[in-house]
Structures are given as C-alpha cells and as structure tokens.
Amino acid sequence: MITIDSSLAAWLMLAARICLSAVYLVSGVHKSIWYAEAAEEFRQARIPLVNVALPLTIALHLIAPICLILGVFVSEAAVALALFTLIATVLVHDFWNMEGAQRLDRSRVALANLGLIGGLLLLAAVGPGPLLQITVTS
C-alpha cells in the first residue's frame, strides 16, 4: 500500500481542483468567444431557451471553476458542476439513442463526463484541502 504524506496530499488536492476546473473554464471561455456557434450547438441539441440557457451555462463554466481553483465555496461549486454535467450528459450525450460511430463517440463523452462527476463529488465530499483556500466570512 502506498502512503501519501499530508504535504503531498495537499498538493494533489490542489492539482485535482485545477485539473477538474480546466475542463469547465476552457469550455466557458470557448462558449463566450464563439457565442454564435455555441448557440447553434445548443439549438441542434434541442436545448430549450437558448438565450437563457447559454448565458447561464457560460456563467457556471466561468464562476464555478474559479471557485474551485481559489478554494472558496468548493463543495457548492463542485456539486453545481456535477449536476450540470449529469443533466448535460443525459440531454446532449444520449448515446443510447444513437447508432454506429456516433453512438461510440457519444458514449466515450458520457463516460468521460461520468469521471468528471465522480471527481467533482469526491471534491465536494472531502473539501478543497489546505492549499490555496480562501475563507469567506460574513
């Protein structure tokens, strides 16, 4: 059995937060830069109220990862991203309704999303770790 000392564990937790955040942060930036293309993708995926759903998605993809990286509201941000990812997987990456190569491609995305959900839920459960953690007081 490998034992990890607390110093290394702290750095691993920070690395995990950054890695999980990168997926969403890059997605939010891309959706912002290529807004018209993102809107068309939402329409093709039959997402209702694109003019509401897309800005909310961008906001979530920009704000929640920053929270994860900074170590503030980590559990809330992680759960919000996990729920978003679950909903997006069911609505958009519905490989069970596809055939052939498209089914294979979408099933890979769905499984990758499942891994993200697992990482986010684990982060929500254990917290941010001791490094780079901002405390918000009222």
Per-domain boundaries in the chain: 8-126
Q: Give me the percent of the chain exceeding a pLDDT of 70.
A: 95
Q: What is the pLDDT of residues 62-102, one digit of tens each?
A: 999 999 999 999 999 999 999 999 999 988 877 777 778 88
- What is the pLDDT, as a whole number, of residue 76? 95
Written as six digits, the tokens of 105 are 């491609």
Please state, in angstroms and rounded to a whole number, the distance separating the CA atoms of residues 50 and 86.
Answer: 19
Tell me the Ramachandran region of residue 72: left when phi exceeds 0, alpha when psi lies from -120 to 50, beta otherwise.
Answer: beta
Q: Name the residue with higher pLDDT: 136 or 39.
A: 39
Please report which confidence band the pLDDT of residue 108 belongs to, taking 50, 70 and 90 as the band edges: confident
- What is the pLDDT, as a whole number, of residue 86? 95
Q: What is the pLDDT of residues 119-138, one digit of tens each?
A: 999 999 998 888 776 666 66
